Amino acid sequence: MHKSPTIIDYIERNPNWEFVAVYSDIASGVRTANRPGYRQLLRDCAKRKIDLILVKSLSRFGRDALETIRQVRKLKRANIGIYIEIGGLNALNISDSMIDQLAALDQAESHFRSENIKFVSAPFENVDFRRNGVSFLTGQHTGVIQP
Angstrom distance (rounded) from CA 36 to CA 47: 16
Average pLDDT over residues 63-74: 88
Domain ranges across the chain: 4-146
pLDDT computed for residue 145 by the predictor: 39
Compute the distance between CA of residue 27 and CA of residue 135 in angstroms, rounded to an integer: 39
Residue 134 has pLDDT above 50, yes or no: no
Residue 147 confidence class, pLDDT cut points 50, 70, 90: very low
In terms of Cα–Cα distance, which of 17, 23, 15 is closest to 45? 23
- The topology (CATH level 3) of 4-146 is Rossmann fold (3.40.50)
pTM to 2 decimals?
0.68
% of residues, the chain, pLDDT over 90: 26
The one-character DSSP state at 24 is -
Nearest Cα to 23, choosing from 51, 47, 1? Answer: 1
